[in-house]
Amino acid sequence: MSRSPKVAGIILAAGASSRMGRTKQLLPFRGQTILECVVDNALASSLHRIIIVLGHRAEVLEQLLASRDVAIIHNPHYDKGQSSSLKSGLQALTEEIDAALFLLGDQPLVTPEIINLILAGYEASPSPVVLPVFRGKRGNPALFSRETFPRLATLKEDCGARPLIGEYAERILKVPISDPAIHFDIDTEEDYRQLLLLEHQ
């Protein structure tokens, strides 16, 4: 690419936190909520723009983020699983966007530095799929180039983008990350307790 690629961050934060039993996006962490941490980390990175996909308790979460320079998308079908939110985010992208980085709304430890390493990997070698890897195991956030968008738009049910990992296996760029944060999300109360132990680190 003759210019730096423009990558949008799409934060998937529509879920009902059914395993947790309460809205994990609103749980406190480091003086704010988990979702605010995720959004602020994305805003502090080199992402071109930030899109947040909301569903469960969208009104409360949108109010929380009102002062931030982000685009908010409502996914009325969030109960159909992550793929529905992924597609909602894609539909909000404009033509100048070269790729989308999908961030999870329950990964507050993914720093701007991690995000920028993934973006740098994509800029150096614009593969259709770019994945962060810690100790040989892939994690999130995951980047997908515009080439993959038509295929992403056909995804069904709660599979996320996993089917594309297999389909593009030979062309995936794996970016080594020296931080286990790419593997850590908040699904259960035990996960949240572990997160709070890291609050002041």
Entry field: residues in the chain? 201
Average confidence (pLDDT) over 137-144? 96
How many CB atoms sit inside 10 A of residue 146's CB?
Answer: 16
pLDDT for the residue 2: 58
pTM of the predicted model as reported, rounded to 2 decimal places: 0.94
Q: Is the pLDDT assigned to residue 88 strictly greater than 90?
A: yes
- What average pLDDT does the chain have? 92
* Residue 61 per-residue DSSP state: H
Q: Is the pLDDT assigned to residue 192 strictly greater than 70?
A: yes
Q: Is the pLDDT assigned to residue 158 strictly greater than 80?
A: no
What pLDDT band is residue 201 in, cutting at 50, 70 and 90?
low
Domain ranges of the chain: 7-197
> What gap in Å lies between CA 120 and CA 128, rounded to an integer?
14
Q: Is the pLDDT assigned to residue 150 strictly greater than 90?
A: yes
Fold of 7-197: Spore Coat Polysaccharide Biosynthesis Protein SpsA; Chain A (3.90.550)
pLDDT for the residue 20: 86
What pLDDT band is residue 160 in, cutting at 50, 70 and 90?
low
How many CB atoms sit inside 10 A of residue 196's CB?
Answer: 13
Q: Between residues 16 and 109, which one has the greater pLDDT? A: 109
Q: Is the pLDDT assigned to residue 1 strictly greater than 50?
A: no
